[in-house]
């Protein structure tokens, strides 16, 4: 199959024929093994105490992705291209390019580790074959599907499986009859002892930096230049809010089921079998198999799309041609895929800590990309009358401050400065 067909199937190039908007692509990207694992750990270890962090992460995603979508529609440029046009000074341009490429490369490699590890642990849960073997197999499968471009049908099937798993999580959240009082109390921000990394991970697994690049690029395909901004901007905003909101419901359902079924019984999460226990109130003995299939589906789809997304982001930032035949373009996604697979093999039988670490890395890198996005969407030369309002700047600034504050807090605790 040709490279053109790969481009048609990639998350960065949706066609007009699609009935759904780029917002759903963003949701599909962050609802993967990282989100399922991190939300499960949050609920199993801290009950409902971190519900506020999940809600904040969803609201932060809505805020940042709306800016990215508006940037793409108004400027007809991706975030990478807009940054190159904004930071034209040779020195600042190089600094920005290095920071962005490093953030995308490091963050995406970490994200990919979680994707492959999640898919591998799912297969280990039902087969007994070592996780390292499955990590290699998943990496090779993702490489083959990316290189040949025949993954479109498989991806559709996998997304359908993830959709079914989502419904089961939501139904289970109702069946386990969570303590609504405790759930409501969890909306009040608190950071229990030992929970800082999990809080950062919840944000990092939801507000994914490379999604900002993807969204700015993909909206240009959905809402072309001939569509009036008065029509395209409200549609894109609705698409973003509704799609990300659906992802938020999924995340909260996972936290709720884990809190009500695992935390309530003093059970911890260290592998796929542990996570599957939260579905036993609804599925019984079938929970392990069902959860494994869903987690594998989420892992494989993310393992396919994440490296390709990184290639689009880095190519746009460095001004490379968006040519899927280019050795540079292929070099980016191959590097992300290989690094992710190697690290997934390294973590072996204990992937949960590695997945949490991967999401934490994304959370720590978020402020860098978020600040650059805020700079661009405030430029009159780029956005005209559609540049950020005071309210949007306050919302975006809050996201940056909270993410940065949590990162600094975690570092200071690690250094022993804070108790």
The pLDDT value given to residue 128: 82
- Helix pair 131-148, 327-347: axis angle to 10 deg: 170
| Residue 419 belongs to a domain | no
Tens of pLDDT along 168-223? 788 888 888 888 999 999 999 999 988 999 999 899 889 888 889 888 888 988 89
The tokens for 133 are: 């073997």
For residue 75, pLDDT over 90 is answered with: yes
| Whether 359 contacts 114, CB under 8 Å | yes
Helix (H) or strand (E) holding 116: helix 90-127
CA atoms within 13 A on the CB side of 285: 0
Total domains in the chain come to: 1
| Whether 233 contacts 249, CB under 8 Å | no
Average the pLDDT over 2-13 and give the result: 39
Among 215-219, 224-228, 317-321, top mean pLDDT goes to 224-228
pTM of the model: 0.85
| Whether 339 contacts 303, CB under 8 Å | no
Domain that holds residue 246: 3-414
| Residue 284 belongs to a domain | yes
For residue 8, pLDDT over 60 is answered with: no
Q: What is the CA radius of gyration of the chain?
A: 20
| Residue 124 belongs to a domain | yes
Local structure of residue 227 (DSSP, 8 states): S
The pLDDT value given to residue 71: 96
For residue 7, pLDDT over 50 is answered with: no
Residue 5 CB burial class (10 angstroms; 0-12, 13-18, ≥19): middle
Question: In which band, very low, low, confident or very high, does the pLDDT at 13 lie, cut at 50, 70 and 90?
Answer: very low
Average the pLDDT over 256-272 and give the result: 85
| Residue 362 belongs to a domain | yes
The mean-pLDDT minimum among 68-77, 213-222, 357-366, 383-392 falls in 357-366
- CATH code assigned at 171: 1.20.1730.10
The phi, psi pair for 57, rounded to 5°, reads -60, -40
Question: Which is higher by pLDDT, 217 or 373?
Answer: 373
Average the pLDDT over 94-103 and give the result: 86
| Residue 227 belongs to a domain | yes
Average pLDDT of every residue of the chain: 84
Tens of pLDDT along 340-351? 999 888 876 666
């Amino acid at each position: 199959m040709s490279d053109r067909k790969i481009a048609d199937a990639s998350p960065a190039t949706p066609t007009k024929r699609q009935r759904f908007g780029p917002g759903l692509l963003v949701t599909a990207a962050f609802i993967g093994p990282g989100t399922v694992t991190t939300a499960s750990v949050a609920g199993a270890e801290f009950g409902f105490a971190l519900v506020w962090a999940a809600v904040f992460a969803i609201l932060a995603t809505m805020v940042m992705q709306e800016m990215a979508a508006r940037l793409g529609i108004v400027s007809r440029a991706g975030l990478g291209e807009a940054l190159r046009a904004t930071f034209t000074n040779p020195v600042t341009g190089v600094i920005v390019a290095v920071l962005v490429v490093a953030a995308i490369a490091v963050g995406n490699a970490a994200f990919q580790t979680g994707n492959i590890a999640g898919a591998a642990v799912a297969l280990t849960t039902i087969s007994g074959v070592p996780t390292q073997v499955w990590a290699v197999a998943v990496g090779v499968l993702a490489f083959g599907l990316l290189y040949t471009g025949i993954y479109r049908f498989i991806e559709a099937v996998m997304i359908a499986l993830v959709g079914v798993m989502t419904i089961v999580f939501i139904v289970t959240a109702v069946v386990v009859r969570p303590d609504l009082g405790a759930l409501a109390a969890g909306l009040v921000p608190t950071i229990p002892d030992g929970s800082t990394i999990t809080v950062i991970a919840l944000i990092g697994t939801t507000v994914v930096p490379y999604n900002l690049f993807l969204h700015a690029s993909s909206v240009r395909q959905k809402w072309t230049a001939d569509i009036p901004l008065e029509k395209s901007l409200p549609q894109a905003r609705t698409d973003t809010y509704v799609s990300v909101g659906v992802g938020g419901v999924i995340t909260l359902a996972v936290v709720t089921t884990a809190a009500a079924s695992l935390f309530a019984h003093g059970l911890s999460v260290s592998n796929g079998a542990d996570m599957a226990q939260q579905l036993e109130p609804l599925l019984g003995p079938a929970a392990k198999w069902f959860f494994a299939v869903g987690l594998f589906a989420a892992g494989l789809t993310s393992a396919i799309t994440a490296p390709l997304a990184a290639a689009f982001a880095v190519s746009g930032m460095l001004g490379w041609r968006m040519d899927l035949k280019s050795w540079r373009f292929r070099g980016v996604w191959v590097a992300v895929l290989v690094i992710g697979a190697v690290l997934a093999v390294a973590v072996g039988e204990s992937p949960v800590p590695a997945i949490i670490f991967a999401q934490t890395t994304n959370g720590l890198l978020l402020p860098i990309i978020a600040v650059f996005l805020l700079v661009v969407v405030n430029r009159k030369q780029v956005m005209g009358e559609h540049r950020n309002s005071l309210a949007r700047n306050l919302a975006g600034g809050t996201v940056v401050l909270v993410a940065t504050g949590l990162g600094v807090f975690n570092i200071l605790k690690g250094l022993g400065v804070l108790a």
